Amino acid sequence: MNKTKIITRTIFVLSVVSLLNDISSEMLYPVMPLFLQSIGFSTVLIGVLEGFAEAIAGLSKMYFGRMSDSMSKRMPMVRAGYLLSAISKPMMAVLTFPLWVFSARTLDRLGKGIRTGARDALLSDETTAEHKATVFGFHRAFDTIGAATGPLMALIWLQFHPTDYKTLFLLAFLPAICSVAFTFFIREQKKEISIAPPIPFLEKFLYWKKSPAAFKQLMIGLLFFGLINSSDLFLLLRAKQITGNDSAVILAYILYNLVYALLAFPLGKLADRIGMKKIIVAGFFLFAIVYAGMSVAQNVIWIVALLILYGIYAAATEGVSKALISNIVPAGETASAIGFFTGWNSIATLVASSATGFIWYAASPEIAFALSAGGSMIAAIYLAGRKLV
């Protein structure tokens, strides 16, 4: 591998795979709450569904992240993960019973859990410490271009076929299976680290015990933030509540993803230059502003402005967090560490989404968003005071 070349062939193809997969997923994501409500799901049940699906993803990320570090190959897990997510898309078009919908969402999230740690470890293995945030930012930029393209395709479809969600689920299968096909163009480098002995089943979930002190400090801040960061579906439900317009919601979501895609790569490069922790802390402060704004927003102009800021927050935190983790832990433990983080973060999302759904129902959406804003400020202040590297 040529370490002087920042964006290698493997990084580029993996980014294309993520782009295609996200076109598929994001064709469905902004219409998912509308679809679920159309088949009788309450706000509380939507929160439980998303939280449960993320918890499944979380447990599998931890398990398969550790497994990836103990194997000589990462691509089989990457390929299997994308395949399972692809299969889940047409399932939603077959039946609308709650248990079947739960199963389809769970299969999609299981696929994400299987592939995430191995894929991110591949990205980390392809670069050096001083370029990690740049590489993860590049990957997130491609990923998010797909996240902007998918909703646009969904919007065009629904303009001509209003409420025809089932056909949309079938159409989403096409880019998903193309993403699987592109994984066969990746030639995985042989690992330069020694293959670890088999890890006992329960220990695959317990990376914390052997992790470095800096990793533990970072996890406290990131996972506390995860406990107040519910599914983005609630942002879309709030946008629909304020605007009363499905198309406006999807367009605002497309704008958010465009901002995210445009800024992920430059913010990654900036993080490599000035420090990853500073960028993450700034992102958490932006999150607080967005959620506080959502608690008092009154019209579509508010929604558009806040989702632009939300795109900046996402670009500043998601890829950069994984890059920082990969620099803190030993090279042979990258998938375990990222799997631990993304796994427990998904479980935190179960708590956050369920709590947000309950608070929304029992009190008000304004209170739910205000509480999240306050929690984000606490997480930002905590991380700002930690010396990690």
Each residue of 51-62: pLDDT tens digit? Answer: 777 777 778 878
Q: Give the Cα separation of 375 and 241 in Å (integer).
A: 24
| Burial (CB count <10 Å: 0-12, 13-18, 19+), residue 236 | buried
Residue range 239-267, pLDDT digits in tens: 888 888 777 777 888 888 889 989 999 99
Handedness of CA 7, 8, 13, 15 (dihedral sign): negative
- Integer Cα distance of 378 and 384 in angstroms: 10
Q: Which of 69-73, 125-129, 178-182, 357-361 has the lowest mean pLDDT?
A: 69-73
Percentage of residues in the chain with pLDDT exceeding 70?
94
Domain positions in the chain: 9-185+205-384
Q: What is the pLDDT of residue 57?
A: 75
pLDDT value at position 192?
A: 54
Task: Tell which residue, 272, 259, 376, has the closest CA to residue 315.
Answer: 259
CB 291 within 8 A of CB 369: yes
| 288 CA to centre of own chain | 19
pLDDT tens track for 266-325: 999 999 999 999 999 999 999 999 999 999 988 888 898 999 999 999 999 988 999 999
Q: Is 191 or 231 the better-scoring residue by pLDDT?
A: 231
The second-level CATH assignment, the architecture, of 9-185+205-384 is: Up-down Bundle (1.20)
Helices (H) and strands (E) in the chain, counts: 15, 0
pTM score of the predicted model: 0.78
Higher pLDDT, 70 or 175: 175
Q: How far is CA 152 from CA 99, 165, 240, 248, in A?
A: 29, 14, 17, 12
